[in-house]
Structure 1
Amino acid sequence: MDFDLRTADLDAINSATKYPSIPTYHGLGERGSLTGAVVEFRGPVLGTEKVDGTNSRIIALPDGSWLLGSREELLCARGDLIGNPAQGIVSALRDLADAMPPADGVVRVLYLELFGGKVTAASKQYTGERAVGFRLFDMVVLREWANLFTRPLAEISAWRESGGQPFAAEPELTTTATDFGLQLTPRLFTLDAAELPTDIGAMREFLGERLPETRCRLDAAGGGHPEGIVLRTPDRATIAKARFEDYDRTLRRRTA
C-alpha cells in the first residue's frame, strides 16, 4: 500500500503516534499523594533524567514527508509555510526534521523533550538566557502502519495505551541518536531491580543521591533543580517515572 500524506487520515496518525501515559514508580493516590504500591521491575534497570519540558514528536512517513507534533496534536507538515507556534516546537525542530533521512517505507517516530526558553515554568532550572534545547528519549518504528491507520480511533487509542507501540530497546535508541547526531536524555545508572527502594522516604533519598542537580543545564544561569528520574528496563518492556515533587508532597503531608 502506497502512502500519501495528502490523503492520509491525520487523526489516525496522530493517535497512533501519541506518547502513552507513563505510570509513577510509586502509585498515585488521593490528592496526588503516593501509595506504597510500586511498579515491579526485574533484572537490570536503567535510570535516565526526566527533563521538565514539553513532549514533542518528529514523525517520518513512508512517502518521505514528515509531521511535527506536541503530545496531543499535530502542528506542522513538511512544506508548510506556517506551522502552529504552540510551545515553540515547530521553530525548534523544523530544521532537524528536514535534515533527517527518510523513513524507507515505515513510520519512524522520534520523541524528544523540548526544554528551556519559555516552554514550561521550570525552564529557569535549565537556562537563565532563554536558551532552548531538546533531548531524544524514545522512538517507535511502525512497520504495519497500513493496517493500523485504517482502524477506528477508539481502537487505535486502546492499542496505544495498552502498550501496543513497538518502542525501541536501548541499543537501537542509542544507535539512532548517534546516527542522527542527537543527544539522549542523560543516562544516570544501571542497577539490579532489587536495589530500587520500595519505601517512599528511601526513594526520595535515592533520587537526591542519584540526581542532585540536572545534567541538562543550557547555560550557567540555569537554576539546576531536576524534575526526576525515569526508570526503564533496557528492552523498555517496563517503565515508570519518579518525580521529586511527588515524593516531597507526600512526605510533607505525612508530617503535617
Structure 2
Amino acid sequence: MLTLRTADLGKLNSLTKYPSIPTHHALDPKNGGLLEEPTIFTGAVVGTEKVDGTNGRIILLPSDEWLIGSREDLLTASGDIIHNPALGIVDTLRGVAEQAASVPVWGDNDIVVLYLEVYGGKQLPAWKHYGAGQATYRLFDVATIPADMLTWDRDRISSWRQHGGQRFLPEEELGDVAEHCGVELTPRLFLLGGAELPTDVAGMRAFLEPYRTTRVATSGEPGLNEGVVLRTADRSVITKARFQDYDRTLKRREKTTGQRRTASV
C-alpha cells in the first residue's frame, strides 16, 4: 500500500497539482486581451463564484495519511511537527485534512485530492473583499488518481497533467464529498443551458454583472467577486470568466475606437 514513507514525494507533488483553467473567451497572444472566440458549451452549465484567494490541496493516501500543499509545493503531512507557513494554508486546512482522512468513502487504491480556495487572510492581496482578515476556505474540485501512476516517470506525469488527464468528480459527487467532509463548496450562482450564454465579449461582460459582489464574505460589507467559473455537470468542460479580463479588453477597444475617430477628423 502507498504510504508517506514509500511515496516519491516529488512525483506525488507533480501528479496532484491543479491544472490551469482556460479563459472562457480565448486570449489574444499579442496583447493578453480577449478574442471573440468563446468556448461552446452544450447541455447544462453550472456557474460558480471564482473566489479570489490561493489554491490549497489536501492529498489523501490509501494509508489514511494526508498531505497539504499550495498550488506548487507540498507544505506539510500528517505527523509533521514543523510545517511551511506559506500564506496560512496549513493553519487553515489542517482540520479539514484530518476530518477528510477519517471519512470512509475513498477507493482502496486511489489518491484523492481535494482542491480548496483559501481566502480572506491578511496574507492574501484580496482579503478586504471578504471581511476582517480571517482566513477560511471553500472546496471547488476533487480528483481521484490511481496510486500506481506514481510508477510513471516525471515527464509522463507532467504531460498527463498538462493535457487534462485528471478525473475530476462530477457536480453531484462533488457535493457528496463536501457533505461527507463537512466543508462548503464555492457558491453555485446559476444553472442554465449552454446556448443561453452570450457569445460576444461585451455580451458576456453584461451577463456577469449580477455576480459582481462576492457571496462568501465572512463579515462586513461584501466586496468584489473576481469572476465566474463555468463548468458542465460532468466537469468535462471548464472555463473561467474574470471581470478584469473583460473590463480591460473593452476599455482597450474603446480607447482604440476613440483614437481612430480622432485620426479621421
Band the TM-score falls in, shorter-chain normalisation: over 0.9
Corresponding residue of 2:184 = 183
SS at 2:48 equivalent: strand
Q: Is the counterpart of residue 126 in structure 1 residue 125 in structure 2?
A: no
Post-superposition Cα deviations, 1:9-66, rounded to whole Å, max 9, x if no partner, equal 1111111110011100001112321111111211110000000000100001011110
Gaps of 5+ in 2: 256-265
Q: Which residue of 1 aligns with 2:74?
A: 74
Aligned mate of 1:138, from 136, 141, 157: 141
More off after superposition, 100-109 vs 151-160: 100-109
2:113 maps to which of 95, 102, 109: 109
Q: Distance in 2 between matches of 1:17 and 1:132?
A: 23
Q: Is the 8 A contact 1:186 1:215 kept in 2?
A: yes
Counterpart-to-counterpart distance in 1, 2:249 and 2:212: 19
Report the secondary structure of 1:45's partner residue: strand
Provide Cα deviations, 1:96-126, integer angstroms capped at 9, x if missing partner: 2112225452211100000001242111111
Aligned-residue sequence identity (percent) comes to 51
Q: Is the 8 A contact 1:53 1:119 kept in 2?
A: no
- Map 1:20-169 onto structure 2 (within 5 A): 20-29=19-28, 30-100=30-100, 101=102, 103=106, 105=108, 106-127=110-131, 129-142=132-145, 144-146=146-148, 148-169=149-170
Runs of 4+ more than 4 Å apart? none
Measure, in 2, the Cα distance between the counterparts of 1:187 and 1:11: 34
Identify the range of structure 1 (114-123 vs 99-108) with the bigger mean alpha-carbon deviation.
99-108
- TM-score, normalised with respect to structure 1: 0.95
Partner of 2:260: none
Shift of 1:5: 1.1
Which deviates the most, 148-157 or 236-245?
A: 148-157
Change (3 A) 1:119 1:40: farther
Q: Does the 8 Å contact 2:212/2:227 carry over to 1? A: no
Task: Provide the aligned C-alpha RMSD in A.
Answer: 1.2
Give distance in 2, aligned partners of 1:196 and 1:51: 21
User: What is the one-letter code of the residue matched to 2:127?
Assistant: S
Cα distance in 2 for partners of 1:191, 1:96 equals: 32
* Contact 1:22-1:241 at 8 Å conserved across structures: yes
The secondary structure found in structure 2 opposite 1:203 is helix
1:114-171 per-residue CA deviation (whole Å, 9 max, x = no partner) reads 00012421111111x21111000000112x211x101111111111111111100000
- Distance in 2 separating the partners of 1:241 and 1:4: 35
State how far apart, in whole Å, the 2-side matches of 1:4 and 1:249 are. Answer: 47
Equivalence for 2:254: 255
Bigger shift: residues 118-127 or 155-164: 118-127
Number of residue pairs matched by the alignment:
250
Scaled by the length of structure 2, what TM-score is found?
0.91
Q: Offset at 1:221?
A: 4.3
SS of alignment partner, residue 59 of structure 1: strand
Superposed CA offset, 1:166-196 (max 9, x none): 1000000001111111100000111010011
CA separation in 2, counterparts of 1:108 and 1:37?
A: 34
Q: Determine if contact 2:2/2:147 at 8 Å carries over to the other structure.
A: no
